[in-house]
A and B are shown apart, each in its own frame.
Chain A
Amino acid sequence: MKNIILSAVFLLSTTLASAQGVFDKFENNESVASVIVSKKMFEMMSKVKVDAKDKEAQKYMDLLKKLDNLKVFMTSNSKTANDMKSTVTSYLKSNPLEELMRMNDSGRQVKIYVKSGANENIVKELLMYIEDPSSKDKQAIVMSLTGTFYLDEISALTEKMNLPGGNELKKASKNK
């Protein structure tokens, strides 16, 4: 009995850990540009000394402590873009994420999904998919951010790190 529980826990923990991993295949794709930031990096950055009076910087440092992984994949290739789209679709089928927002701006589609934590305001994972067939170098973008954070904290991060979809995210966190 104990063994069964143990192996169940083990199985669960491995699937949880590798949930974000479905997108890793894009990392070695020739036509994909990526940005991957690990938990250790966030941890290290949060140790940078900032002026105690600078409230905004303080808030930013606090947020960094709550983040686990950031992965952004971009492609200029329409075939890879399709692959990204289907990977996102199948990921959403096997993982409980809810749609937060969907936008269509003259062909540019933005979809944002979240996985909530202990209560509805806490986000465990944020997944964004942007599709823009008219754009030359960014046909599709997948961004996945994991951790334990509040949604309204994230728009500050996307602004600071110049991540895609910052504006959309700002709107989405206001609507919530």
Chain B
Amino acid sequence: MRYFILLISCVLYSCSDNATLQTYFVENSESTEFFTIDITPSILKTDALTLTNEETAALEAFKKMNILAFKKDSINENKYKSEMTKVKAILKDEQYESLIKYGSNRNGAALYFAGETDKIDEFVLVANQDEAGFAIVRILGDDMDVNHVMTLFQLLKKSNVDMEQLKPLQQFMK
């Protein structure tokens, strides 16, 4: 009997649980049609640098970056379309707000965010190209703001990038 209840609650839970970007990433990370990569702030090798207060704050606000990409080939046209629809539906969630959209239906990019404009929890970038596939980039942070982002970009230029973390990406692109 107890197992039965457990089973029921499990089923109920998974049904009621709306698809989130998190579950979407997890579900597809094992699939061969998808490619994922996780990047941590340690990708920026800053040991040799003396960081300013702003740079330290920016690094602290940035938690991680997850990338999920779907590579389109000659036979998965329908899957590509249905996955795009799924992603769009998830991003319609009230948690995400659209910032900027650019391009056409066939290829373009859109940027979303969650949180408040000066306390950003997450950025989501979705880019698609009908011939190539699509990619979702999640940038997760803790009370990020625009100036943190700008500082990180500057830091990216002057610090060494840990290429080990990007290896899977290079292999995927081949």
Supposing A47-B147, A48-B147 touch, asked if A41 and B118 sit within 8 A by C-beta, the answer is: no
Residue A48 contacts which of B100, B105, B113, B150 (CB distance < 8 angstroms)? B150
Q: Which residue of B lies closest to A71 (CB)?
A: B101
Shortest Cβ gap from B117 to chain A (Å) = 5
B145 at the interface (CB under 8 A from A): yes
B163 at the interface (CB under 8 A from A): no
**A35 to chain B: which residues have CB within 8 Å?**
100-102
**A28 to chain B: which residues have CB within 8 Å?**
105
B99 at the interface (CB under 8 A from A): yes
Interface residues of chain A: helix, strand, loop or mixed (majority)? mixed
**A45 to chain B: which residues have CB within 8 Å?**
146
**B95 to chain A: which residues have CB within 8 Å?**
none
Residue B113 contacts which of A34, A36, A40, A49 (CB distance < 8 angstroms)? A40
**B147 to chain A: which residues have CB within 8 Å?**
47-49
A121 at the interface (CB under 8 A from B): no
Complex Cα gap A41–B108 (Å):
17
A44 at the interface (CB under 8 A from B): yes
Shortest Cβ gap from B105 to chain A (Å) = 6
Complex Cα gap A66–B120 (Å):
21
Chain B proximity mask over A19-44: 1 for CB below 8 Å, otherwise 0: 00000000111111111111011011
Chain A proximity mask over B80-109: 1 for CB below 8 Å, otherwise 0: 000000000000000001111111111010
**B103 to chain A: which residues have CB within 8 Å?**
33-34
Q: Tell me whether B100 and A36 are in contact (CB under 8 A).
A: yes
**A32 to chain B: which residues have CB within 8 Å?**
104-105
Residue A47 contacts which of B97, B99, B113, B117 (CB distance < 8 angstroms)? B117
Within 8 A of A (CB), among B99-136: 99-106, 108, 111, 113, 117-118
Q: Tell me whether A47 and B145 are in contact (CB under 8 A).
A: yes
**B97 to chain A: which residues have CB within 8 Å?**
38, 40
- How many residues on the B side are at the interface (Cβ–Cβ under 8 A)? 19
Q: Which residue of B lies closest to A31 (CB)?
A: B104
**B104 to chain A: which residues have CB within 8 Å?**
30-34
Shortest Cβ gap from A44 to chain B (Å) = 5
Q: Which residue of B lies closest to A37 (CB)?
A: B100
**A37 to chain B: which residues have CB within 8 Å?**
99-100
Q: Tell me whether A38 and B100 are in contact (CB under 8 A).
A: yes
Shortest Cβ gap from B150 to chain A (Å) = 6
Shortest Cβ gap from B71 to chain A (Å) = 23
Q: Tell me whether A44 and B101 are in contact (CB under 8 A).
A: no
Chain A proximity mask over B133-160: 1 for CB below 8 Å, otherwise 0: 0000000000001110010000000000
**B111 to chain A: which residues have CB within 8 Å?**
41
**B108 to chain A: which residues have CB within 8 Å?**
33
Complex Cα gap A40–B146 (Å):
12
Q: A-side interface residues toward B, CB under 8 Å?
A: 27-38, 40-41, 43-45, 47-49
8 closest pairs, A vs B, by CB? A41-B99, A36-B101, A33-B104, A44-B117, A43-B117, A37-B100, A41-B100, A47-B146
The 8 sampled A-B contact pairs (Cβ below 8 Å) are: A33-B103, A34-B102, A38-B99, A40-B117, A44-B99, A44-B113, A44-B146, A47-B147
